């Protein structure tokens, strides 16, 4: 197993188990360097969004990398202010241009904006049918959002990207996604570095001669969850990728599961202030 190991989405498209997230990586030099170092280390999946305002730098790094397009997996997302059918098509074309790509691998509805996400998703379905995206999905969708969407959708989402880490082990959502063949993808897998000194994680990490970050990312992988940790630092990018040479025991998996506190670093999807976007 390695950085190019993939899970197969329900439409047959292969998504790497581990990718690089670039939220809060500054546009221009910082994002270009961050993506370049990751690609050099063997990362092939990059997660950006129009909201991050760094798609141009991602695109520049990709085009300068010399890596064949079919070997890359690029995700971007439609932001809340861009939702609705027509706006989404427009937003998609803008993202494509900034990324300097002919298609994206995965296009996601960033948040479930009430009253809009179904029209937004309909645009994603059309983009998919036109071959402009290889897979479509959602982000920050709770079970009730997924059920509501699937009542009307022609194409079941292939991915749901949500905040997910040991203190926010969303077991019900994970099971629901597994039952429906929707790949769960963890954002903020390291909880933005907030509890990497947790005593239980530290004890487990010491046992395997790994870091707590590696233990968390391995825990995701063993739960069948895709991860996209962000780091601008080459050493940490390397560390985060180095999770395929050890296996957590069932006992350690259970111990990590038990760290759950339903604690978020970001907004709860049902409590997000959507009012500016309605
Ligand atoms: N769909 C959504 O709504 C949504 C929301 C948030 C994020 N995301 C996506 O998910 C990606 C990951 O989430 P995130 O960036 O919020 O948080 P994260 O990956 O959990 O954590 C990133 C933070 O941890 C640090 N870090 C990374 N590797 C480390 C290591 N091995 N040891 C110690 N610290 C480490 C990073 O600092 P340095 O960079 O300084 O190393 C950064 O401060 C984002 O970049 C974005 O692509 C999506």
Residues constituting the chain? 278
Cβ < 6 A, ligand 1 pocket: 21-23, 47, 110, 139-140, 161, 187-193, 196, 213, 228-233, 236, 239-240, 266
Identify the three-state secondary structure at position 197: coil
Q: Are 55 and 26 spatial neighbours (Cβ–Cβ below 8 Å)?
A: no
- What's the Cα-to-Cα distance from 278 to each of 28, 87, 118, 146, 149, rounded to whole Å? 31, 13, 13, 20, 18
d(CA 125, CA 129): 6
Q: What average pLDDT does the structure give for the chain?
A: 98
Protein residue whose Cα sits closest to atom 25 of ligand 1: 193
Distance of CA 209 to the CA centre of its chain: 27
d(CA 186, CA 227): 5
Q: Are 150 and 174 spatial neighbours (Cβ–Cβ below 8 Å)?
A: no
Residue from 187, 202, 264, 274 whose mutation best tests the ligand 1 pocket (most atoms within 8 A of CB): 187
Chain segment 180-225, per-residue pLDDT in tens: 999 999 999 999 999 999 999 999 999 999 999 999 999 999 999 9
Asked if residue 20 has pLDDT above 80, the reply is: yes
Chain segment 40-59, per-residue pLDDT in tens: 999 999 999 999 999 999 99
23 counts as catalytic: no
d(CA 241, CA 43): 8
Q: Are 248 and 216 spatial neighbours (Cβ–Cβ below 8 Å)?
A: no
Chain segment 148-187, per-residue pLDDT in tens: 999 999 999 999 999 999 999 999 999 999 999 999 999 9
Structure confidence at residue 1 as a pLDDT band (50, 70, 90): confident
Greatest C-alpha distance within the chain: 53
Structure confidence at residue 2 as a pLDDT band (50, 70, 90): confident
Protein residue whose Cα sits closest to atom 14 of ligand 1: 188
pLDDT at 234: 98
Q: What are the backbone dihedrals phi and psi of residue 228, each rounded to the nearest 5 degrees, phi first?
A: -140, 60
Give 3-state DSSP helix, strand, coil % of the chain, rounded to 5. Answer: 45, 15, 40
The reply to whether the predicted model has a pTM over 0.95 is yes
Handedness of CA 196, 252, 263, 8 (dihedral sign): positive
């Amino acid at each position: 197993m390695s950085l190019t190991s993939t899970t197969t989405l329900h439409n047959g498209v292969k998504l790497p188990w581990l990718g690089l997230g670039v939220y809060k990586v500054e546009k221009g030099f910082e994002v270009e360097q961050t993506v370049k170092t990751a690609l050099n280390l063997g990362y092939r999946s990059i997660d950006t969004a129009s909201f991050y305002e760094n798609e141009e730098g991602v695109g520049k790094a990709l085009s300068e990398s010399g890596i064949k397009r079919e070997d890359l997996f690029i995700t971007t997302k439609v932001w809340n202010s861009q939702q609705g059918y027509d706006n989404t098509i427009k937003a998609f074309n803008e993202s494509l241009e900034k990324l300097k790509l002919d298609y994206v691998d995965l296009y996601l509805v960033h948040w479930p904006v009430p009253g809009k996400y179904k029209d937004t998703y309909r645009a994603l379905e059309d983009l998919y049918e036109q071959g402009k995206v290889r897979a479509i999905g959602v982000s920050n969708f709770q079970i009730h959002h997924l059920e509501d969407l699937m009542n009307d959708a022609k194409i079941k989402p292939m991915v749901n990207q949500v905040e997910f880490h040991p203190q926010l082990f969303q077991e019900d959502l994970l099971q629901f996604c597994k039952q429906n063949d929707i790949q769960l993808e963890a954002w903020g897998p390291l909880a933005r570095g907030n509890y990497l000194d947790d005593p239980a994680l530290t004890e487990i990490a010491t046992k395997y001669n790994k870091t707590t970050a590696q233990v968390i990312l391995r825990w995701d992988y063993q739960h069948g969850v895709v991860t996209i940790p962000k780091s601008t630092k080459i050493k940490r990018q390397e560390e985060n990728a180095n999770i395929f040479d050890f296996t957590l025991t069932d006992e350690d998996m259970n111990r990590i599961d038990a760290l759950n506190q339903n604690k978020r670093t970001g907004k709860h999807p049902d409590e997000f202030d959507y009012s500016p976007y309605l």
